[in-house]
Structure 1
Amino acid sequence: MYEEIFFKRLTQLRLEKGLSARDMSLSLGQSESYINRIENQKMLPSMTVFFYICEFLEVTPKEFFDVDECPSIQILDIIDDLKSVDPQTLQHLAAIIKKLRD
């Protein structure tokens, strides 16, 4: 459970900064696919690299894991769920969401 939160939170914070996974990896002194492998749940960073990630993203470790303050994590969960929905249902859901915004 905590690993899944970690992967999603890393993606969220990186996207909020407008960074590509490749650019972030290289900025951290890692291989160009490093962050991508983490976000795709293939590996976890060492504790030392985690602290570098927090510093790079300008968040404390506490802020990194403070998901109660992050509705974007819920949005990422919904996006993951939507990937398995058939196209017609997806269109219906899009219409519902649009109607809710109006």
Structure 2
Amino acid sequence: MDTAFIQQRITELRLQKNVSEYKMSLDLGQSRSYIQGISSGKVLPSMAMFLEICDYLEVTPAEFFSPGRAEAALTQKVVRKVRDLPPRTLALLDEWLSLLK
């Protein structure tokens, strides 16, 4: 694993999210050129910032380092949404999923 992978992966995930380098930098509380610096290889994120970037891009660190696992990323996204459901809605969702099998 080299720094080029990190640069490319952040760019790939950012583009999938359809967000500019500028907007992502500001959303993360960084200077407007922060993500551009990462993409160009001028800077690497700290571990804390890497975790914030993963959160922003809605991937786990494991998913970040495992490209091609789109279904895993989608599963995680659905799980995050399900966690916020009220109990009654969760029960209905469970019934609905049982019918799909």
Q: d(CA) in 1 for partners of 2:69 and 2:60?
A: 14
> For residue 22 of structure 1, what is the aligned residue in structure 2?
22
1:36, distance to aligned residue in structure 2 (A): 0.2
Aligned residue type for 1:30: Q
1:32, distance to aligned residue in structure 2 (A): 0.2
1:67, distance to aligned residue in structure 2 (A): 2.7
1:68, distance to aligned residue in structure 2 (A): 5.0
Q: d(CA) in 2 for partners of 1:41 and 1:69?
A: 25
> For residue 42 of structure 2, what is the aligned residue in structure 1?
42
Considering Cα pairs closer than 8 Å and 6+ residues apart, tell me whether 1 or 2 has the greater RCO: 1
> For residue 61 of structure 2, what is the aligned residue in structure 1?
61
Runs of 4+ in structure 1 over 6 Å off:
none
Unaligned stretches of 5+ residues in structure 2? 71-101
State TM-score, norm by structure 1.
0.65
Unaligned stretches of 5+ residues in structure 1? 71-102
Secondary structure of 2:45's partner?
A: coil
Aligned residue type for 1:57: L
CA RMSD of superposed structures (Å): 1.3
1:69, distance to aligned residue in structure 2 (A): 3.9
- Percent identical across equivalent pairs? 50
Q: How far does the alpha carbon of each residue in 1:32-84 deviate from its partner, in whole angstroms, 9 at most, with x for none?
A: 000000000001000000000000000000100113547xxxxxxxxxxxxxx
